Structure 1
Amino acid sequence: MKIRQILNNNVAIVKRGGIEIIVISKGLSFKYKVGQMMNEADIEKSYILDSYDKLQHFSYLLSQSDPDDIFLIDTIISTAEAELGIQASDYLSLTLLDHLEFLLERAEKGQFIQSPLIWDVKRFYPEYLAVGLMAIQKISEAKQLELPEDEAVSIALHFVNMQATTHAQEKSTVQMRALADMVSIIELHFKIHLDEESTNYMRFITHIQYFIERIINHEIIADEIDSIVLYQQVGKLYPEAFKVVQKLKIYINNQFQADMSISEETYLMLHVNRLTKRLEEN
């Protein structure tokens, strides 16, 4: 395998046969240079992705990630595979690493939100919720954090979604149009053009896809008192994100005759702030 690009001390893109893959090997930059052949015995983890866009997206993510986080996710997935009797894709490993980065960022600020889907997941996917609880326990131990049970739901849904999309389904015209409209509302409000290849954009799009699907399925969740308190705090911290979410709320109401929950508004404010803040810094 020939090294095509070294992303940091531990991550590289190599060419194996006719495809490019991402490989992890602690200290590889001290052993190899671009153009050299890499010994497969030195590879600790590899990722094979099905498109150039995913390769670029996740190579950037891995280059910015703590190696310990990469191996923490690997441990979580290995345990989940044994408990669920599944074979996880490389794509799941990388989306969970992306999720972990966002979770740690929110944990540092104490931004924990009650999941509107916790009772549904407990009822319909108890085995996946058990995996989510295992994951947050391992993360808590590794990072010396106290994470609420609700955080397990988001992780569980990554595994549920992986199983549901094994037979890839095309997004409906309604979903695609709503997604494009919501992105346009954000761009017009901030007078910017969003980077469609960025990590934050992809994270935001994933969240919106799930959200629109819940709206279409008429999944209406009641809010808790704690959700309202955090909603008010986040709204004060990120006033511009609050304003644009109010526009998105009006759009959803007009388009689907549906109301947006307080929890969903809060999540959207966090995503919108993250998406636009990083863009402005760059």
Structure 2
Amino acid sequence: MKVSQILNNNVAIVSRGKNEVIVYAKGLAFRKKVGQTIKETEIEKTYVLDSNDMLEHFSYLLANSDPNHITLVNQIIEFGEKQLTEKSNDYLSLTLLDHIEFALKRAAKGQFIRSPLTWEVKKFYPQHFDIGLYALNLINQQFNLHFPEDEAVSIALHFVNLQEDKNNLDSTIRSMESLRDILSIIQYHFQIKLDEKSMNYMRLMTHLQYFIQRVQTDKIYDESDLVLNTQIKMLYTDAYDCIQKIKVYIQEKYECVISIDEETYLMLHIHRVTNRSKKES
């Protein structure tokens, strides 16, 4: 592969067929000149990008990155691939490097960002969160820092993004936020702390996950069983009052009106989980 551009002693842009790719290895480009050849055996990492804008952006990033940071990212990626049993792509390596470089600059100023998704990522993406914790331990040890767990969440989301396309990731994050908010509405309304280890809580969580998915895809249940709905409302008035708050929330967030059947099923699940929690408190 012929050298098109030398970015520093460790990074160069080379021609591979009709495309240009970024190659990296410590000392790779030392004493090399444009037009000379770099062998595959000399390269530690190749970054293949699908646009000139990305090539330019990440060329600058790699040219100005500490080699130790690149090695760190490679360690994290290797661990993540083993955890998820899935190969990563070059964008993950580069966006993660970009993230860590910026995080280290923030840390130097004592700036640590709080993540609003810590609970959700721990709950729904435990493997990804473990990757984030692994990365966090490496960073804290190597740079003698004390990043909070929130940074592990931010790193974990890079790996979630690996397995989801952009639209799916946005939808997943929005879904997690909605689940958190609805659980907060229920706990606030009944003034209780739900038992996250109980079977009824697990059933509620499963129902809410699919409920939010149906809301997002506009595929809500709508068979309009008015008789059953009326009976449940009369039996479980507290659950019905709580549902009215959830309905307002869903209307404002998704511009969607909960159907009679969705209301009925939610009342049943909410009554079951809150009734048990009240008895145990």
* TM-score category of the 2 structures, normalised to the smaller one: 0.5 to 0.7
Per the alignment, residue 148 of structure 2 pairs with: 148
Residues in 1 aligned to 2:43 and 2:176: alpha-carbon distance in whole angstroms: 44
Shift of 1:11: 0.6
Per the alignment, residue 95 of structure 1 pairs with: 95
Amino acid aligned to 2:111: Q
Query: What secondary structure does 1:32 align onto?
Result: coil
Matches within 5 A, 1:12-51: 12-51=12-51
* Cα pair distance change 1:8/1:119, threshold 3 Å: same
Query: Does the Cα contact within 8 Å between 2:115 and 2:151 map onto a contact in 1?
Result: yes
Greater Rg by CA:
2
Matches within 5 A, 1:176-255: 214=174
Per the alignment, residue 188 of structure 2 pairs with: none
Residues in 1 aligned to 2:74 and 2:30: alpha-carbon distance in whole angstroms: 24
Query: What secondary structure does 1:31 align onto?
Result: coil
Aligned residues: 185
Instruction: Report which structure shows greater RCO (CA 8 Å, sep ≥6).
Output: 1
Residues in 2 aligned to 1:98 and 1:8: alpha-carbon distance in whole angstroms: 18
Query: Does the Cα contact within 8 Å between 2:10 and 2:30 map onto a contact in 1?
Result: no
Amino acid aligned to 2:80: A
Per the alignment, residue 59 of structure 2 pairs with: 59
Amino acid aligned to 1:17: G
Residues in 2 aligned to 1:100 and 1:142: alpha-carbon distance in whole angstroms: 13
Query: What secondary structure does 1:21 align onto?
Result: strand
Flag structure 1 segments of 5+ consecutive residues without an equivalent: 171-208, 223-255, 259-282
Can you list the C-alpha shifts for 1:106-157, whole angstroms capped at 9, x where unaligned? 1111111321100001111111101100011111112121111111000000
Residues in 1 aligned to 2:154 and 2:120: alpha-carbon distance in whole angstroms: 12
Residues in 1 aligned to 2:148 and 2:177: alpha-carbon distance in whole angstroms: 27
Per the alignment, residue 111 of structure 1 pairs with: 111
Q: Aligned-pair RMSD on alpha carbons?
A: 2.7
Flag structure 2 segments of 5+ consecutive residues without an equivalent: 185-250, 254-281
Query: What secondary structure does 1:14 align onto?
Result: strand
Query: What secondary structure does 1:110 align onto?
Result: coil
Residues in 2 aligned to 1:215 and 1:105: alpha-carbon distance in whole angstroms: 31
Shift of 1:96: 0.1
Per the alignment, residue 120 of structure 1 pairs with: 120
Query: What secondary structure does 2:4 align onto?
Result: strand
Amino acid aligned to 2:99: H
Amino acid aligned to 1:64: N
Residues in 2 aligned to 1:38 and 1:169: alpha-carbon distance in whole angstroms: 38
- What TM-score do you get using the length of structure 1 for normalisation? 0.60
Residues in 1 aligned to 2:158 and 2:49: alpha-carbon distance in whole angstroms: 17
Residues in 1 aligned to 2:178 and 2:15: alpha-carbon distance in whole angstroms: 46
Amino acid aligned to 2:37: M
> Which of structure 1's runs of 4+ aligned residues deviate more than 6 A?
219-222
- What TM-score do you get using the length of structure 2 for normalisation? 0.60
Can you list the C-alpha shifts for 1:7-53, whole angstroms capped at 9, x where unaligned? 11111000011211100122233231011111222111111112221
Query: What secondary structure does 1:30 align onto?
Result: coil
